[in-house]
Chains A and B, each alone.
Chain A
Amino acid sequence: MSPFDHHGGTPKKSNDASISDGAVSECGVVHVEIPYSRYRIQFGKEGPLRYCSHLDLMRVWERVLRRAGLLLAYSHGFNPRPKMQIAAGLPLGYGSTCEVVDVWLEGDPPEQTSMLSKLRAAAPEGLSIESIQSVELRSPALQSLAGLASYLVVLENSKVAPDVLQERIRAILSQTHIERERRDKCYDLRPLIHEIVLISGEPLTLRMDLVISQRRGTGRPDEVLEALEVDALSTRVTRVALTFEKS
Chain B
Amino acid sequence: MNTPEQIGQALEKILLRVERPGRYVGGEFNSVSKEWNSVQVRVALAFPDIYEIGMPNLGLAIFYDLINRRSDMLAERVYLPWTDMEAIMKQEAIPLFSLETKHPVAGFDLLALSVPYEQLYTNVLQLLHLAGLPLFSTARDETMPLVIAGGHATYNPEPLADFIDLFVIGEGEDAIIEIAEAVGEMKRADLSRTEQLIHLARFAGVYVPRFYEADYREDGTIAAVRPVHEVAQLPVLKRVVPVLSAPPTRFIVPNIDTVHNRAPIEIMRGCTRGCRFCHAGIVARPVRERSVGEIVDAVEDAVAQTGFEEVALLSLSSSDYTDVLSLVRLLGERFTGRHLSINLPSLRIETASVELMESLRDNKRGGFTFAPEAATERMRNIINKAMPHQQVLDVAHAVYSRGWRTIKLYFMIGHPSETLEDVKAIVDLSTAVLAEGRKIHGKKATVNIGVSTFIPKPHTPFQWVPMDGMEQIESKQTLLKRELGGKGKGIRLRWNDPEETLLEALLSRGDRRLGPVIHRAWQLGSKFDAWHELRRHEAWVQALSEQGLDFHHYTHRPRHMDEIFPWDHIDVVVKKEFLAEDYLMSQRGETRVDCRERCFACGILPKLAAMRSELPPEAWKCPPVSSRAHSGQSDKVSPASA
Say yes or no: A5-B256 contact (C-beta < 8 A), given A47-B27, A64-B307: no
Interface residues of B in 370-415 (CB under 8 A from A): 403
Contact A124 B27 (CB under 8 A): yes
Shortest Cβ gap from A131 to chain B (Å)? 21
**What size tier do the contact residues of chain B reach?**
35 or more
Shortest Cβ gap from B391 to chain A (Å)? 27
Say yes or no: A48-B365 contact (C-beta < 8 A), given A6-B309, A64-B307, A233-B16: no
Shortest Cβ gap from A28 to chain B (Å)? 11
Interface stretch (choices A12-20, A35-43, A66-74, A165-173): A66-74
Could you count the A-B residue pairs with CB atoms below 8 Å apart for me: how many are there? 94
Say yes or no: A80-B256 contact (C-beta < 8 A), given A48-B26, A62-B309, A63-B306: no
* Cβ of A139 under 8 Å from chain B: no
A122 to B253, CA, bound (A): 11
* Cβ of B308 under 8 Å from chain A: yes
Contact B363 A71 (CB under 8 A): no
Contact A63 B25 (CB under 8 A): no
Complex interface bits, B3-32 against A, C-beta within 8 A gives 1, otherwise 0: 000000000110111000110111111000
Measured CB to CB, the nearest residue on chain B to A82 is B339
* Cβ of A240 under 8 Å from chain B: no
* Cβ of A244 under 8 Å from chain B: no
A52 to B22, CA, bound (A): 6
Q: Which of A27, A49, A124, A233 contacts B253 (CB under 8 A)?
A: A124
Contact A78 B364 (CB under 8 A): yes
Say yes or no: A67-B21 contact (C-beta < 8 A), given A56-B255, A80-B339: no
Complex interface bits, A147-174 against B, C-beta within 8 A gives 1, otherwise 0: 0000000001000000000000000000
A71 to B303, CA, bound (A): 12
Chain A residues near B253: list those with CB within 8 A: 63, 124
Overall SS of chain B's interface: loop
A124 to B25, CA, bound (A): 13
A123 to B28, CA, bound (A): 10
Most chain A beta-carbon neighbours within 10 Å: one of B13, B256, B364, B366 = B256
Interface size of A by CB at 8 A reads 40
Say yes or no: A51-B22 contact (C-beta < 8 A), given A66-B307, A78-B363: yes
Contact B27 A125 (CB under 8 A): yes
* Cβ of B213 under 8 Å from chain A: no
Contact B307 A51 (CB under 8 A): no
A2 to B362, CA, bound (A): 23
Contact A62 B255 (CB under 8 A): no
A66 to B304, CA, bound (A): 7
Shortest Cβ gap from B364 to chain A (Å)? 7
Chain B residues near A79: list those with CB within 8 A: 363, 365
Contact A93 B16 (CB under 8 A): yes
A233 to B12, CA, bound (A): 11
Shortest Cβ gap from A169 to chain B (Å)? 22
Contact B307 A65 (CB under 8 A): yes
Chain B residues near A191: list those with CB within 8 A: none
Contact A48 B22 (CB under 8 A): yes
Say yes or no: A56-B363 contact (C-beta < 8 A), given A51-B15, A124-B27: no
* Cβ of B560 under 8 Å from chain A: no
* Cβ of A53 under 8 Å from chain B: yes
Measured CB to CB, the nearest residue on chain B to A126 is B27
Contact B27 A122 (CB under 8 A): no
Query: Contact residues of A with B, CB < 8 Å?
Result: 1-2, 4-6, 27, 47-49, 51-53, 56, 59-60, 62-67, 69, 71-72, 74, 78-80, 82, 92-93, 122-126, 156, 233-234, 236
Query: Contact residues of B with A, CB < 8 Å?
Result: 12-13, 15-17, 21-22, 24-29, 52, 253, 255-257, 259, 261, 303-309, 338-339, 362-366, 403
**Can you list 18 A-B contacts with CB-CB less than 8 angstroms, sorted by A residue number?**
A1-B52, A6-B309, A27-B403, A49-B255, A51-B255, A52-B22, A59-B261, A62-B307, A63-B308, A63-B309, A67-B305, A82-B339, A122-B29, A124-B29, A125-B28, A126-B27, A233-B16, A236-B12
- 3 A-B pairs with least C-beta separation: A48-B27, A63-B307, A66-B307
